[in-house]
Amino acid sequence: MIDDRSARQGVHLRVVGVSDSKSLVVASDVFTKEFNDNLLSEICRLKADHSSLSTLISGECQVFLDSDLRGKLSEIASLLGTSTGLAFVDCSASSETVEILTQAVDLGCCIVLANKKPLTSTKEDYDKLVSRPRRIRYESTVGAGLPVIASLNRILSSGDPVHRIVGSLSGTLGYVMSEVEDGKPLSQVVKAAKSLGYTEPDPRDDLSGMDVARKALILARLLGMRINIDSIKIESLYPEEMGPNIMSVEDFLSTGLPLLDNDIGERVRKASLNGNVLRYVCVIEGSRCTVGIQELPKNSPLGRLRGSDNVLEIYSRCYSEQPLVIQGAGAGNDTTAAGVLADILDIQDLFP
Amino acid sequence: MIDDRSARQGVHLRVVGVSDSKSLVVASDVFTKEFNDNLLSEICRLKADHSSLSTLISGECQVFLDSDLRGKLSEIASLLGTSTGLAFVDCSASSETVEILTQAVDLGCCIVLANKKPLTSTKEDYDKLVSRPRRIRYESTVGAGLPVIASLNRILSSGDPVHRIVGSLSGTLGYVMSEVEDGKPLSQVVKAAKSLGYTEPDPRDDLSGMDVARKALILARLLGMRINIDSIKIESLYPEEMGPNIMSVEDFLSTGLPLLDNDIGERVRKASLNGNVLRYVCVIEGSRCTVGIQELPKNSPLGRLRGSDNVLEIYSRCYSEQPLVIQGAGAGNDTTAAGVLADILDIQDLFP
């Protein structure tokens, strides 16, 4: 939670509380006090050590646990919500924050999300979260700090209708597809990506396409599509019988994955004969939203993509033949944090 | 002048006045009345016919001329400036609007510019215009509606230092350089561009590089550089002795321009031997800002650029090895207008 009354220039952000899944630490007086740099560093150290926030010992803040946690959050939201630029910031990956976020919205608070789950929940939850559209920002949910949502919002608010979005929104799958294009076997590429730290601990979390589908849903809903995650056709790069409930990560990497090499290799070769390449993309067009491998011209922004950059092509009335293209690093702690911070500062415009 | 108190959703913008260089028409009551669509269409028709606004006959508005014009503008700024989302919108190409704009800023008004001249005037004028940074927007001055300024503002406000910008910011020169790359003589390409309507009536207005330099100055000043237009090293594509004071447009096209074909052709061939291409770009780096032809790798976002799209590469701490790239149509009435409208709506956040 960050409260700030000052203008963008000479800005001073006050951190008045930090929460993990089980505990909340709050400044002794949320109206005047704030967490200083020492306390914030100590909090980062604790979490890096996988410790609970409740083990924090400091005279400058109070700790709330379990049932007291939600009550205290509501209290702070009521006290600071409508009158200050208080922002509830959700950088978790939890689907359990929706309730407290919608409550904060109801109390007039601003919310800033790097967490995709609340925005990809039911239509009802989504409608509640965006019910005050000026009071929510979620740039870092798609392409980390890349100005994707901000740019789409500008295009839409100017009345320019967006009719097609094509994007490569997973750095991991971007890397995998461009390595496979060079003739390397999928199994080798995924193992290399894992050892480089490009994938989740279980690479199937990337290969399933679910993370890309969530990003696609966020963009589709921004365009006004009334759909849920299960309306999206998602192509998984592994078959159900190699799923996490059936195979361990080790078995998947050593036994399962190599069985997929030939099929992908064959698709790459076929595409190449047409002068095309394979990319794992999301396509949003009309009422349709799909996520999976597409054959694309080698000589297009997406076809030229190499490595782990994200790319988004936006087609609208103004950008009809040649798209508006946004490209750059779409993952990483620094860019994600920068996107969250820019969102928090942007919201301060609402509080003169 | 547009005044709006409503939120971005279900937005209603009131146009309360329109001005050309000699006359100002204002709604009969700026607090409650507005120009309706018929009146706005009539105004557009008049201006398309090169008529003066003062010839407008309507009971719904009053006309002010010459010395009364500035007085009335100040009066409206005083009445609506601080309390409403009144925006002074400058879509002219005049260097004479600076005074009234700075006055509007002093009175607490918001200003929205598609006009580059006020922002590329003296440092003193610039400082006055941006003295209330939340109350000025000027997206359409660089790359038309492309989200260039908005994206740079987000990056800068998140504390991510931008250390290098390279851009192709002229659709005309982008087209010229990619045609010349294909081996066509410069003189032919410029004549073709002129007949396609890609250039100014006098193509030297594009070829001088001054328009690109103004855009570069706006970006450099946004990054905090304290420079003037004459601090920028500008490469003109024609020599002084072919300037507008010495040669007519016709003479330049028929006699002057062909004399430049060999030199450019030779440079294109030399670059090609290094696997490079020539692009007319702005480079902002450190305390240096230059505008001119650069030899760039064929396989870079700028090197791959074809036709009249604009491209901007932004290098910062977060985007250090691979830049953040924004690409798309950077000219045209529709995109410019969309950028202005998005700016006007963005400013409404300041007025709850």
**Residue-wise pLDDT tens for chain B (352 aa)?**
554 433 345 678 899 999 998 899 999 888 889 999 999 999 999 999 999 888 888 778 889 988 788 888 888 888 887 778 889 999 998 999 999 999 999 998 999 999 999 999 999 999 999 999 989 999 999 999 999 999 999 999 998 999 999 999 999 999 999 999 999 999 999 999 999 888 888 999 999 999 999 999 999 999 999 999 999 999 999 999 999 999 999 999 999 999 999 999 999 999 999 999 999 999 999 889 999 999 999 888 899 888 889 999 999 999 998 999 999 999 888 999 999 999 999 998 888 6
Give which of A307, A338, A294 is closest to A198, Cα–Cα. Answer: A307
Would you state the pLDDT for residue B297? 92
CA distance linking residue B153 with residue B159, whole number of Å? 10
Q: Across the strands, what pairs with B162?
A: B316
Q: Cβ separation of B338 and A150 shorter than 8 Å?
A: no
Would you state the pLDDT for residue A1? 53
Residue of B nearest to A343 (CA): B154
Q: Which whole number is the average pLDDT over A103-110?
A: 92
Q: Cβ separation of A150 and B151 shorter than 8 Å?
A: yes
Q: Cβ separation of B7 and A147 shorter than 8 Å?
A: no
- Closest Cα in chain A, distance from residue B152 (Å): 9
Considering only the beta carbons, identify the residue of B9, B309, B335 that sits closest to A318. B335
CA distance linking residue A122 with residue B73, whole number of Å? 50
Q: Cβ separation of A341 and B159 shorter than 8 Å?
A: yes
Give which of B339, B321, B323 is closest to B331, Cα–Cα. Answer: B339
Q: Where are the beta strands (DSSP E) in A124-222?
A: 136-137, 162-168
Considering only the beta carbons, identify the residue of B8, B134, B146 that sits closest to A324. B146
Q: What is the edge-to-edge ordering of all strands in the sheet holding A23-27?
A: A17-19, A23-27, A61-65
Q: List, for residues A273-330, the tens digit of each pLDDT value.
A: 999 999 999 999 988 999 999 999 988 889 988 888 999 999 999 999 899 999 999 9
Q: Which residue segments constitute the domains of chain B, with CATH numbers given?
A: 2-145+334-350 (3.40.50.720), 162-329 (3.30.360.10)
The dihedral region occupied by B328, where left means phi > 0, alpha psi between -120 and 50, and beta the remainder, is left
Considering only the beta carbons, identify the residue of A133, A309, A346 that sits closest to B8. A133
Amino acid code (one letter) for A137: R
Give which of A143, A115, A142, A120 is closest to A229, Cα–Cα. Answer: A120
**A305 contacts A173 by C-beta, under 8 angstroms:** no
CA distance linking residue A105 with residue B289, whole number of Å? 45
Q: Give Cβ neighbours of residue B29 (< 8 Å, ≥ 6 apart).
A: none
Instruction: Find chain B residues with C-beta within 8 A of A150's C-beta.
Output: 147, 150-151, 154
CA distance linking residue B38 with residue A110, whole number of Å? 40
Q: Which whole number is the average pLDDT over A104-117?
A: 94
Residue of B nearest to A323 (CA): B328
Q: Cβ separation of A324 and B323 shorter than 8 Å?
A: no
* A–B CB contacts, 8 A cutoff, strictly below: 139
Q: Give Cβ neighbours of residue A49 (< 8 Å, ≥ 6 apart).
A: none
Would you state the pLDDT for residue A6? 37
Give which of A169, A102, A165 is closest to A136, Cα–Cα. Answer: A102
User: Would you tell me the crossing angle of helices A66-80 and A98-106 to the nearest 10 degrees?
Assistant: 30
User: Would you tell me the crossing angle of helices B171-181 and B261-273 to the nearest 10 degrees?
Assistant: 70
Q: What is the ipTM of this complex?
A: 0.92
Paired tokens of A101? 């976020």
CA A182 to chain centre: 29
Q: What is the sign, positive or negative, of the torsion defined by CA atoms of A143, A148, A153, A159?
A: negative
